[in-house]
Structure formats: C-alpha cells, structure tokens
C-alpha cells in the first residue's frame, strides 16, 4: 500500500488554499483554542504578524476573509479594533442558501428531510411551549382561517403557514435541529414565491394545512408527544403530495407557455 501521504493515481487532487486562506484557518483555530467569545477583542495587527510569522499583507487579507465569513468584525475610532463576532442565524442561512442556489432543489428534496425532522421536533416540544408561543401559533393560523380570494392573498397565506413552522423551529432545545428546520422552511418559502407554487389556488392544500396546524396546537398544549409526532408526520406527507402537484402544474404551465 502507498503511504498515507501519497496520492493515488486516479484520486483527484484537493484544491490548495491560498496563503491568506490558510492563515485565516489558523487564526480561526487559535480563536477556538484560546476560548475567545463573541465581543472579545483580538490582538493588534503587529501582534498577529508576530504570532503567525506572516507579512502584513497576508494577515490583512486573512482578516478580510474572516470578516467576509462573519467571524470577526472591525470597528474604527476610539475603542476600535477587531472583535470576535457571532454569525447570526440570518447570515448563516443566507450563506448556506447561496450554496444551494444553483442546485435546482425540488419539493421532494426538501420534504425528504422535513418528513424526518419535523415530527421529532413536534414531539420534543409537546408540553413545553409557553402560553405566549401557543397564542402566537394561533394568531398565525388566523391569517389563513379563510380561503384566499386573490392570488396575492394565496401567496401570503402560503408564506404565513410556513412561518408557523419557523416559529416552532425557534423553540427547539437542539440548536442544530432548529436551524436545519428553519433553513428548510425559509428555502421552501422562497421556492414557493419564486416559482409561483401558490398558483393556481389549491383549496385542499389550504384546508388540510390549517386543520393540521390547529390539531397540532392542541397536542402541543396538552403535552401529547405521540399525537404531535403523528399529526406532523401526516401533515408533512400530505403537504408534500399537494405541493408536488403544484410544482408539476407550474412546470406544465412553463412548457405550454
């Protein structure tokens, strides 16, 4: 066998990082090792030059890379400097969304994950939600308590129904689970609007979606994890089927036009 460092003949060569990119990774690792927290000031540029043994230009480019990633933030003026910055959920969602922008995701792709994750989220939240959150969920459902009378109302109702799921994701104790569901819900909301999946209006999609949401609120309020899981599972299966129908109709219209 060849040694571990030897690249096999047919193995693709890994892309090599530029020197500033490598230094950016080293600085990131060092920040973690030194237990820096969001808001902590990083050493001055001369200190970083000495610590990492790199030229001023390389350090500056490395810091620009980290700032573009949202991991550090620079401030000028009195009390200024470079500080560790916590990446917001919105920024992380946008960066990840950019990766999937050209992946041509389908409704099936998204629901394949939603059907696995959201029933477990619902079960984990049963009996844990405050009265305030339960009331917010009811208010959201109130936004689509009646079928839409215009295309604009139909679009807004689709977006509101997905906001119901985003609010549930915000309540997750598991930050990774909550982020993944929130990301998928927002991606589906964008796809619905960009691809006009709310056309033509689908009364069954509205009716069954609202009914599932009301049933789910009751299970969550009562602390019935098994029912919450079952309701969400049935909701996801039904929504996938109906949304795939909307997607197929959109594609048919595109071809005929």
Using pLDDT thresholds of 50, 70 and 90, give the confidence band for residue 257: low
pLDDT of the residue at 79: 83
Which CATH class, in words, describes the domain spanning 19-84?
mainly alpha
Q: Where is pLDDT greater, at 229 or 3?
A: 229
Average pLDDT over residues 104-126: 95
Domain boundaries along the sequence of the chain: 19-84, 90-256
pLDDT of the residue at 3: 43
Which CATH class, in words, describes the domain spanning 90-256?
mainly alpha
pLDDT of the residue at 5: 40
In contact, 161 and 213? CB cutoff 8 Å: yes
pLDDT digits over 126-159, tens only? 999 999 999 999 999 999 999 999 999 999 999 9
Distances (CA, A) of 194 to 34, 150, 190: 44, 18, 6
Q: Where is pLDDT greater, at 99 or 228?
A: 228
């Amino acid at each position: 066998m060849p040694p571990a460092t030897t690249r096999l003949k047919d193995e693709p060569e890994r892309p090599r990082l530029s020197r500033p990119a490598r230094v950016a990774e080293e600085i990131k690792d060092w920040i973690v090792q030194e237990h820096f927290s969001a808001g902590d000031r990083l050493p001055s540029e001369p200190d970083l030059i000495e610590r990492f043994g790199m030229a001023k230009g390389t350090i500056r480019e490395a810091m620009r890379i980290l700032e573009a990633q949202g991991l550090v933030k620079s401030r000028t003026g009195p009390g200024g400097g470079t500080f560790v910055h916590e990446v917001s959920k919105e920024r992380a969602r946008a960066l990840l969304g950019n990766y999937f922008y050209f992946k041509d995701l389908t409704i099936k792709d998204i629901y394949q994950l939603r059907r696995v994750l959201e029933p477990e989220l619902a079960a984990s939240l049963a009996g844990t939600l405050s009265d305030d959150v339960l009331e917010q969920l009811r208010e959201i459902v109130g936004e689509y308590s009646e079928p839409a009378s215009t295309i604009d109302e139909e679009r807004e109702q689709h977006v509101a129904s997905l906001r119901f799921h985003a609010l549930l994701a915000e309540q997750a104790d598991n930050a990774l689970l909550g982020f993944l569901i929130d990301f998928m819900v927002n991606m589906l909301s964008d796809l619905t609007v960009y691809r006009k999946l709310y056309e033509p209006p689908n009364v069954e999609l509205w009716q069954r979606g609202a009914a599932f949401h009301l049933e789910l609120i009751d299970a969550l309020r009562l602390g019935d994890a098994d029912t919450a899981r079952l309701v969400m599972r049935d909701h996801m299966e039904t929504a996938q089927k109906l949304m795939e129908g909307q997607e197929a109709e959109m594609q048919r219209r595109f071809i005929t036009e």
